[in-house]
Amino acid sequence: MTLTTGVRADADRHARLRRIALATLDANWEHDHTVPSRTLYPHQWSWDSAFIAIGLAHVRPDRAWRELRTLFAAQWVDGRVPHIVFNPASRAGPYFPGPQFWDSARADGAPTRATSGIVQPPVHAPAAWLVHRRAPGEASVAALRRLYPRLVAQQRYLTGRRDAGGGGLASIVHPWESGLDNSPAWDAPLAAVPADEAVMRAYRRHDTAHADAAQRPTDLDYARYVALVESYRAGRYRDEGLLGRHPFLVECPLVNAALGVSEYALARIATVIGADPGPHRDRGARITEALVTRLWDPVTGTFRPRDVRADRLVPSRTVLGLMPLALPELPAAQVSALLAEACSPRFGLAARMDRPLPTYDRTAPDFEPLRYWRGPSWINTGWLLWQGLRTHRRADLATGLRESLLDLVDRAGCHEYFHPDTGTGLGSPAFSWTAALVLDALAQE
Ligand code: 9WN
């Protein structure tokens, strides 16, 4: 290929990707938010909306702010941002578990709109910052000003009420809170949650009507998910005394890395709106230190979730362990060990990648190339790692990863996830954060 045809091919690919990404986001827009997928996920999801806003900033900045505003309008009085905000007017089919199951109305401080009672990774402050950076102006500064106290309350909730381990990190109470629902990372702590898959006979899962059951969590996984919601709901989603009564409490490296990165983003936002950035930077540094103290495993050279109840690190090596690379003040020893882990045959990161980044160690005997978060490639975990590589100035690896992400979507479309060997599209075929993050990756060389 000559230089000119190469440049033309790149421009064609760029235009093609932009077109399908924009069409996907437009088709999934639902009056004041974007659904992750019309069929599988017909309501608003918390961390999806953050990723979606980052992409929308490039094409529809007003809608990006609207997305975040709608989500934060459903924030609870204690600061938690619910992982699902139900759309009472949804024209789509039902979702399990729906609003009746969560029963948020009976919890203190829940909003009028029905929501779930759990959270997802707090990627919203960095998202708000990026939306402003991509489309700065008076309107974006005003939007930052409105969101700032809500973002601060979200951080306070997670670092305060959710510090069940007492070491300065937030615990998740459900695998759904990690966003990587059936990751092998949760197998060990979930094994302690009593559940019988027969309980699922009392419910109707709708996900398997829209996606192949072999690509989704199993019924036993769902029995445990249901049991954990029941346990948390029984205490009306209060967080006091969780250690004594809730069977799943885990410090997740992704959730806590996002918590730390959020403080640095809040410092930048504070500077723009005339607030004090200093306390945010200090908190960012403290969270980074706590991550290293509590979740770093020097033996394997990666971060691992800590099972707070059992007080030990979980055994599996998943993509979650690489996520703290996004922390700007991560010590050099951890940065180089994480790069080695990412570039090992387990994850295959390279300046020219021959296969996409998996979500789980591809050399593990229980690696499953089709099943959801147990192997397949997802655009958001790739995008988060890409941010980390850029933060630590590894342009060579960042370029390789970006190419691989764009290539996946160019070949298969805006799928929810992808086969980690062949790149075949899996799950929903029109998934919003895939589209949004492609728009962001396209805009950054
Ligand atoms: C449960 C919406 C969400 C994502 C999660 C993804 C999946 C839900 C489900 O879909 O989870 O929250 O029903 O499987 O795992 O990361 O936010 O896209």
Predicted confidence at residue 91, as pLDDT, reads 77
Catalytic-labelled residue, pool 30, 177, 416, 440: 416
Which residue is closest in CA terms to ligand 1's atom 4? 179
Predicted confidence at residue 1, as pLDDT, reads 62
Given a cut of 70, whether residue 185 has pLDDT beyond it is yes
Given a cut of 80, whether residue 103 has pLDDT beyond it is yes
Q: Is 416 a catalytic residue?
A: yes
Q: Let me know: does 356 contact 404? Beta carbons within 8 Å.
A: yes
Q: Let me know: does 442 contact 17? Beta carbons within 8 Å.
A: yes
Given a cut of 90, whether residue 260 has pLDDT beyond it is yes
Given a cut of 80, whether residue 93 has pLDDT beyond it is no
Predicted confidence at residue 151, as pLDDT, reads 99
Which residue is closest in CA terms to ligand 1's atom 12? 176
Given a cut of 70, whether residue 52 has pLDDT beyond it is yes
Residue among 431, 442, 445, 444 nearest 48 (CA): 431
Which residue is closest in CA terms to ligand 1's atom 6? 179
Q: Give residue 277 CA to ligand 1 midpoint distance, Å.
A: 33
Rounded to 5°, angle at Cα 411 from 30 and 396: 100
Residue 81 one-letter amino acid: V
Predicted confidence at residue 138, as pLDDT, reads 97
Chain centroid to Cα 321, Å, comes to 14
Q: Which atom of ligand 1 is nearest to the CA of 83?
A: 12
Q: Give residue 179 CA to ligand 1 midpoint distance, Å.
A: 6
Dihedral angle of Cα 63, 66, 72, 74, to the nearest 10 degrees: -110
Bridge partners for 430 per DSSP: none
Given a cut of 90, whether residue 9 has pLDDT beyond it is no
Residue 136: which pLDDT band, with cuts at 50, 70 and 90? very high
What is the spatial distance between Cα 174 and Cα 380, in angstroms, rounded to a whole number?
20
Coil/strand/helix, residue 149: helix
Predicted confidence at residue 440, as pLDDT, reads 98
Predicted confidence at residue 7, as pLDDT, reads 85
Q: Let me know: does 347 contact 361? Beta carbons within 8 Å.
A: yes
Q: Between 445 and 202, name the one with better pLDDT.
A: 202
Catalytic-labelled residue, pool 30, 48, 177, 181: 181
Q: Give residue 200 CA to ligand 1 midpoint distance, Å.
A: 19
pLDDT digits (tens, 9 = 90+) for 209-219: 888 999 899 99
What is the spatial distance between Cα 41 and Cα 378, in angstroms, rounded to a whole number?
16
Q: What is the mean pLDDT of residues 163-187?
A: 98
Q: What token pair was written down for 164?
A: 């069940």
Residue among 297, 220, 212 nearest 253 (CA): 297
Predicted confidence at residue 6, as pLDDT, reads 82
Q: Give residue 368 CA to ligand 1 midpoint distance, Å.
A: 18
Alpha helices in 37-91 (DSSP H): 46-59, 61-73
Which residue is closest in CA terms to ligand 1's atom 16? 179
Q: Which of 40, 45, 183 to mutate to test the pocket of ligand 1 (most atoms within 8 A of CB)?
A: 45
Residue 5: which pLDDT band, with cuts at 50, 70 and 90? confident
pLDDT digits (tens, 9 = 90+) for 69-78: 999 999 999 9
Q: What is the mean pLDDT of residues 83-100?
A: 90
Query: Mapped to the 3 state alphabet, what secondary structure does 376-405 carry?
Result: CECHHHHHHHHHHHHHCCCHHHHHHHHHHH
Q: Which atom of ligand 1 is nearest to the CA of 216?
A: 14
Predicted confidence at residue 21, as pLDDT, reads 98
Which residue is closest in CA terms to ligand 1's atom 14? 181
Residue 221: which pLDDT band, with cuts at 50, 70 and 90? very high
Tell me whether the omega of the peptide bond preceding residue 88 falls within 30 degrees of 0, making it cis: no
C-alpha pair distances (Å), 396 with each of 195, 262, 322, 359: 46, 26, 17, 21
pLDDT digits (tens, 9 = 90+) for 332-348: 999 999 999 999 999 99
Q: Give residue 287 CA to ligand 1 midpoint distance, Å.
A: 26
Q: Which atom of ligand 1 is nearest to the CA of 179?
A: 16
Ligand 1-lining residues (CB < 6 angstroms): 36, 41, 45, 47-48, 83, 176, 179, 181, 207
Q: Which atom of ligand 1 is nearest to the CA of 217?
A: 14
Q: What is the mean pLDDT of residues 374-385?
A: 98
Q: Which uninterrupted H or E stretch holds 296?
A: strand 296-297
Phi and psi torsions of 266, nearest 5°: -65, -35
Q: Which atom of ligand 1 is nearest to the CA of 380?
A: 16
Which residue is closest in CA terms to ligand 1's atom 5? 179
Average pLDDT of the residues of the chain: 96
Q: What is the mean pLDDT of residues 350-364?
A: 98
Q: Give residue 215 CA to ligand 1 midpoint distance, Å.
A: 13
Q: Give residue 138 CA to ligand 1 midpoint distance, Å.
A: 34
Q: Give residue 302 CA to ligand 1 midpoint distance, Å.
A: 25
Residue 67 one-letter amino acid: E
Coil/strand/helix, residue 267: helix
Q: Which atom of ligand 1 is nearest to the CA of 36?
A: 18
Q: Is 181 a catalytic residue?
A: yes
Determine the straight-line distance between the first and last CA of the chain, rounded to whole angstroms. 21
C-alpha pair distances (Å), 435 with each of 87, 368, 438: 22, 25, 5
